[in-house]
A and B are shown apart, each in its own frame.
Chain A
Amino acid sequence: MGDVLTFGFMQRALTASFIMGTLCSVIGVFVVLRGLSFIGAGTSHAAFAGVTFGYLTGLSPLGMAVAFGLGTVWVIHGLYQRGIMQLDVSIGIFYTFTIALAILFLGLMGAYNAEVYGFLFGSVLSVTAGDLTIMAWLAGIVLAAVLLFYKEFHFITFDQGMAEATGIPARRLFFLLLNLIALTIVVSLKTVGALLVFAMIVIPAASAYQLSRSMLGMMGYAIAFGVSSSVGGVLISYRFDLPSSATIVLLATALFFLAAVFSPKRRRVARFATTPGGRP
């Protein structure tokens, strides 16, 4: 198996999956703790609509994915801020609206385009050097923003109202967080595909949640789960000739169930539940 690492496509695939695994887990911690799962799912469909628009018009598919992903987040957030719609309802609208757009653009393209479907189902082995450059830049921007606003993001995921009351610009930071989620999805689009990208944001963080007692600990566990399932998934899928995105997500899911079974929290809560006067 070692010699496979000398292939250029494999080196690029492993690099892409490493970037994707790290970034998704870091952002996933905030998504899971703040309960933003649905917005991640919605944005991934918008990003895919952007990809199809790019192929239809000849513009950069990843560039259009960024534009559609961010645009959707802005509109959803705008509707929410003005009190027009609850967050989950406006996401629900855009979730389906952008899929409709994607189907429309695919129909307008006429001819079957395998590359487009690579963005839907993931095609990590076809990641090009150009894709990697874009991924690395976007990942760098997202990680730098997380490092700069790490403590504030933690505060708003724990208690946004309290963060605002102590003078932290909580609403603007929440909006920034939504933008970072959208960029993370674009970075991961080619590696795991629009249908499964969301799994890589939620599952490693959810596994980490089972095991961690502190916020810092959860971040560490999430990165470990995310990177091991994405890099491990690529290697396993190559070895057994399986679809890579599915293998990555199935591996992450298996780790989640292991974490849930061995969760000290589950035992602790169960113990409290049977102790009279105990507080879960």
Chain B
Amino acid sequence: MTSRHEEHLICFDHATIYYRDRIALDDISLEIKSGEFLGIIGPNGSGKTTFLKTILGLIAPVRGSVHVFHCACDRLRCEHRARIGYLPQQDLFDPKFPITVAETVMMGRYSTIGLFRYPGRSDRVIVEEALSAVGLLDHATTPLGELSGGQQQRVMIARALAQRPEVLLLDEPTTGIDAATQHTIMELISRLHRDLRLTILFVTHDINLISPVVDRLILLNTKLFAAGPPSDVLTQATLAQVYGKETVVTNHGTPYVIVSDHHA
């Protein structure tokens, strides 16, 4: 093991990753330090979700390597995965599914509790803390399907928090949510990053929403096009390589980007 792996929480080393028989990520080299807040941007189908799934150890690189917690990601054991909170792209689930908010958040504890055992008092305390953190403690016994889309997304964040993770992977957590709620969720995530020193990887197509809060932006389009502070990445020249010539970057303090990529 090289010293490089020890300094970094997540380390991609010339990693090439396939998703459904085609190259989703090509020759990616990137190091992520503990406590960083990263925004991962790129057009549709650029490999953003694959990037997160690789870190979770759900997909293994065919060439190169990916190390997470100093452990090759394809050998990630259950206890490693439990240290990574993951919020998948919002699926439509049956709004009548009989599950309460607290039951949903408790699922975040299951991998830590382990097989053959039931949640105890300390797990219930952690669930309450997670619900408080997202401001939904009053809704603990409410059926999940009765909440609004934004509230449900906060429940899912609480479930990830209940894992007591070191890393939080968020896949488009603000998609399909109204602008006011988007900002509430952004504030919540920024606060978690600040207060809990969580390493956060935030996948989004909404560049302007995250660029003011992240430490670094990662620009993907199968290959890694740029990785650096938002002011370095959000330039006309860099973005045009990925989004085409119609990209507009205006600059009044922080850059504001208009791209032609419409998210499905």
Q: Which A residues are CB-close (under 8 A) to B145?
A: 280
- CB < 8 Å neighbour of A165 from B56, B79, B99, B146: B56
A275, CB-defined interface residue at 8 Å = no
- Least CB distance, A32 to chain B, in whole angstroms: 10
Contacting pair A159 B103 (CB below 8 A): no
Residue of chain B at shortest CB distance from A208:
B98
Please tell me which stretch of A8-16, A55-63, A178-186, A214-222 contacts chain B, meaning at least 4 of its Cβ atoms lie within 8 angstroms of it: A214-222
Chain A residues 165 to 205 lying within 8 A of chain B, measured CB to CB, are: 165-169
Q: Give the nearest-CB partner of A210 in chain B.
A: B96
Contact A214 B99 (CB under 8 A): yes
Closest residue of B by beta carbon distance from A158: B99
Q: Min CB distance, B108 to chain A, in Å?
A: 7
Q: Which of B77, B81, B99, B104 has the most CB of A within 10 A?
A: B99
CB distance from A21 to the nearest CB of B (A): 20
Instruction: Check A168–B78 contact: CB distance below 8 A.
Output: yes
Q: Does B148 lie within 8 Å of A165, measured CB to CB?
A: no
Residues from chain A with Cβ under 8 Å of B56 in the complex: 165
B142, closest chain A residue (CB): A213
The verdict on B258 contacting chain A, using a C-beta distance below 8 Å, is no
Scoring B residues 74 to 118 as 1 if CB is less than 8 Å from chain A, else 0, what string do you get?
A: 000111111010101001010111111001100110110101101
Residues of A within 8 A of B244 (CB): none
Q: How far is the CA of A152 from the CA of B141 in the complex (A)?
A: 20
**How far is A168 from B116 in the complex, measured between Cα atoms in Å?**
12
Which residues on A sit within 8 Å (CB–CB) of B146? 268
Write out the residue numbers on chain B whose beta carbons fall within 8 Å of the beta carbon of A218. Answer: 98
Q: Enumerate chain A residues within 8 angstroms of B110, measured Cβ to Cβ.
A: 151-152, 155, 163, 166, 168
CB <8 Å contact, B148 and A166 = no
Q: Is there a chain A Cβ closer than 8 Å to B228's Cβ?
A: no
Q: How far, in Å, is A226 (CB) from chain B's closest CB?
A: 16
A158, B95: Cβ atoms closer than 8 Å = no
* Given A209-B98, A215-B103, A268-B146, A166-B108 contact (CB < 8 Å): yes
A279 / chain B contacts, CB cutoff of 8 Å: 95, 148-149
Please measure, in the bound complex, the distance between the C-alpha atom of A218 and the C-alpha atom of B96, giving whole angstroms: 12
Q: What's the A-B contact tally at a CB cutoff of 8 Å?
A: 87
Q: Evaluate contact between B82 and A165: CB separation under 8 angstroms.
A: no
Given contacts A158-B107, A168-B78, contact A214 B88 (CB under 8 A): no
Flag if B107 contacts A155 (CB, 8 Å): yes
Complex formed: what's the CA distance from A269 to B141 in Å? 18
Question: Which residues of chain B have C-beta atoms less than 8 A from A168's C-beta?
Answer: 78, 110-111
Q: Knowing A33-B97, A152-B115, A269-B96 touch, does A164 contact B58 (C-beta < 8 A)?
A: yes
Q: Are B143 and A167 in contact (CB under 8 A)?
A: no
Residue ID in chain A nearest B165 by CB atoms: A166
A167 touches B78 (CB 8 A): yes
Please determine whether B88 and A162 come into contact, CB atoms closer than 8 angstroms.
Answer: yes
Q: Does B163 contact A (CB under 8 A)?
A: yes
For chain B, the count of residues having a C-beta within 8 Å of the partner chain is 37
Contacts of A158 in B (CB 8 A): 93, 97, 99, 104, 107
Interface status of B119 (Cβ within 8 A of chain A):
yes
Instruction: Mark A247-275 against chain B: 1 for CB-CB distance below 8 A, else 0.
Output: 00000000000000000010011000000
Q: Is the CB of A209 within 8 A of B93?
A: no
Q: Which of B86, B107, B116, B141 has the most CB of A within 10 A?
A: B107
Provide the residues of chain B in CB contact with A155, threshold 8 Å: 107, 110
Bound Cα distance from A215 to B163, whole angstroms: 20
User: Which residue in A161, A214, A269 is a CB contact (below 8 Å) of B100?
Assistant: A214
Q: Does A148 contact B (CB under 8 A)?
A: yes
Q: How far is the CA of A161 from the CA of B87 in the complex (A)?
A: 11
Give the Cβ gap from A25 to chain B, nearest Cβ, in Å: 14
Chain B residue contacts of A265, Cβ below 8 A: 96
Q: How far is the CA of A209 from the CA of B98 in the complex (A)?
A: 7
CB distance from B85 to the nearest CB of A (A): 8
B residues 30-73 near A (Cβ < 8 Å) are 56, 58
The answer to whether B148 and A167 touch across the interface, beta carbons within 8 angstroms, is no
- Residues of A contacting B93 with CB < 8 Å? 158-159
Q: Is the CB of B148 within 8 A of A217?
A: no
Interchain residue pairs A-B with the least CB separation, the first 7: A167-B81, A167-B78, A167-B111, A212-B98, A166-B111, A218-B98, A213-B143
- In addition to A149-B115, A151-B118, A165-B81, 18 A-B residue pairs with Cβ atoms within 8 Å of each other are A33-B98, A151-B110, A154-B107, A155-B107, A158-B99, A162-B107, A166-B82, A166-B111, A167-B79, A167-B81, A168-B111, A213-B98, A213-B100, A214-B143, A269-B95, A269-B96, A279-B148, A279-B149
22 contacts between A and B (CB under 8 A): A151-B110, A151-B119, A154-B103, A158-B99, A158-B104, A159-B93, A159-B107, A166-B81, A166-B107, A167-B79, A168-B110, A168-B111, A213-B100, A214-B99, A215-B99, A265-B96, A268-B146, A269-B95, A269-B96, A279-B148, A279-B149, A280-B95
